[in-house]
Amino acid sequence: MSGTLVLVRHGQSEWNLKNLFTGWRDPDLTELGIQEANTGGQALKDYGIKYDIAFTSVLKRAQDTLKIVLDCIGQSDLETIEDQALNERDYGDLSGLNKDDARAKWGEEQVHIWRRSYDIPPPGGESLRDTGARVWPYYMMEILPRVLAGQNVLVAAHGNSLRSLVMVLDRLSKEQILALNLATGVPMVYKLKADSTVASKEVLGDMSGAH
């Protein structure tokens, strides 16, 4: 029997709160973000799985979320692999800008295209397709084999790196993945079949707060 794959998006960061494009910049979690991570961790504690390994990005908002979750489930010493393949989408020249200021500079329509198209990147940055192009090989080489070998694997990452994984796991079209927003701190639990397709998916928590 295959193991279990759990995906958690980091809690709210200071730049989420300030409406800034974050990308590969490295702000801390807000108080709400810490609370969201604790809520997700408690949901996983109640779910009752012990994990064999965890993966996260090289950005501290994801790493701190993972630490909080591991503390909640009593596995603070779990082996953890950090890799920039799981980083948030790189917003390039938009990084650090207020979203309203970006609209004033480049126009509402252009910023909307960068944010919501599948394959048009902002200047100096990545599209969602570009993000997937680094997330998918890492998943196939490093994460998936462990799950198929029966391990329970926890991944704490970012909205767009996790959307890339969900697109593959849930077999979503480009249009569907663009419309999908993952809630912060809400774990998604996947059981996989031997052929790597999804046997079941559970979302642990209230998705009404998705944004």
- Are 63 and 57 contacting, i.e. CB atoms less than 8 angstroms apart? yes
- Is 109 catalytic? The answer is no
Write out the two tokens for 151: 């391990």
Which residue do the tokens 């996947």 mark? 190
Cα four-point dihedral sign 84, 85, 89, 91: positive
- Are 31 and 51 contacting, i.e. CB atoms less than 8 angstroms apart? no
Residue in 10, 36, 126, 158 annotated catalytic: 10
What span, in angstroms and rounded, lies between the C-alpha atoms of 182 and 51? Answer: 22
Contacts of 33 (CB under 8 A, 6+ apart): 10, 11, 12, 13, 16, 61, 65, 184, 185
- Are 69 and 48 contacting, i.e. CB atoms less than 8 angstroms apart? no
- Is 126 catalytic? The answer is no
Residue in 36, 88, 126, 158 annotated catalytic: 88
What span, in angstroms and rounded, lies between the C-alpha atoms of 86 and 159? Answer: 10
Strand order through the sheet with 4-9: 80-82, 53-56, 153-157, 4-9, 188-192, 198-203
Active site amino acids: 10, 88
